[in-house]
Chains A and B, each alone.
Chain A
Amino acid sequence: MNVLEVKNLTKRFNGIIAVDKASFSVTEGSVFGLIGRNGAGKTTTIRMMLNIYFPDEGEVLFKGSKIEQDFKDSVGYLPEERGLYKKMKVIDMLLFLAELKGKKGNEVNKSALQYLERFDLADRKNSKVEDLSKGNQQKIQFISTVLHDPDFLIFDEPFSGLDPINTNLLKEIILEMKSKGKVVIFSTHLMEFAEKMCDSIAMIDKGKIILNGKLSEMKEKYASKNVSLNYQGNISFLNSHPMIESIEDYGNTTGIKLKNENSDQELLKLLMANNISIKKFNVDEISLHEIFVLLAGKEAANV
């Protein structure tokens, strides 16, 4: 069931369109990825979903009705540019942000201490935020995002600026929330992360949604006629071959798009015949990155 529906959202800044009629929906209990390059309109879309920006056109529906404060209360939001009150004590900071979400009292207090315990920060609860290391401040920020037990988690470029330990910690949090049946929405320009974690995605480019749906269905749709290849040798002879539609070099792998669905075996034979040493030959597999390049055009290749 769709819990969140984004319909024709449009936002202009000084006459420039940042988001252009964006529509997609998020189903219950799923991990949803909003994917696109920097400046594609991801943050603006997310801010409109949270009512931080009012859209110029369109609307966001939560369980069928327009988003109101009750939606905001049920969201935990981790913006790309994170920040805390530097002069506040850690525990006060956490409780204040939970109180803004309408949660206060013993329960949330206890839960805050539990989280601090879990992230090895229990002894720092009375320290000022500014006295914590950057990594520990990020942990406090994660705790503040989930402390009020939200039903929705919205992360904007969650992995930017994180060290490897916190990256893993955040992945853990996302998976834990998913296993609890919460909806996780995150925006990223890192295709591998999205590919590994998302159930559904929406691709946004220049403010327009260029693709959206279930990741599995999407791959199925775009994978046919597609061969993913790892090799050694020179395959430039393929460039002008009649059965090839296009070749994309992604560095580690090369994506070959065929004109006909059933010519993959023929391609394999051709490669063998030309003494290409094949390390991997994968039919019907396409990476999210490849799909993105396919749709957003060649200039998108260096995302």
Chain B
Amino acid sequence: MRPFNRFVVIASLLLFLYLPTAVSALAVSEVEESLLCYACPGEPLNIDRCGGGDKMRAVIKQMIAAGKTKQEILDYFEAQFGEEILTIPPKRGFNLVAYYAPYAVFLLGILAAFLFVRKWVASGEKKSLAENRLDDKVLLSDEVQKKIDSEIEKLDEEE
């Protein structure tokens, strides 16, 4: 290895071998998942491992040690970086669209499916009435009907 490369590697190693300090664990991770790293746009803090993220984690740790609640810590970061720093946007203003649009679409979908099925059922009933008028309905016992159904099913499977 060239002397310069060796120097770079050793210098990086020294940086990498930092002295860790004790962490008050659970609360930090609880807060982490609600924040993005300010230095890596779009990257959740609980996944991020960069220096910027470390600074944020250090601040969170200090605030937890000072007795701040999760919401107070999130408010602090929101005040510093804007609501863009949060992974779960506050339920206000335009953000409400993000929360309710999926359910609105779901309900509309269910309504549409309901209306379609109702229409198809009605059209099926009409057809069945018409068929009944033309021919005498053949009445089958439950057992025979069951056997026919299972045979049809088998044929479908082996199609």
Chain A complexes with chain B: no
- Chain B interface residues (CB < 8 Å from chain A): none
Partner-B contacts on A (CB < 8 A): none
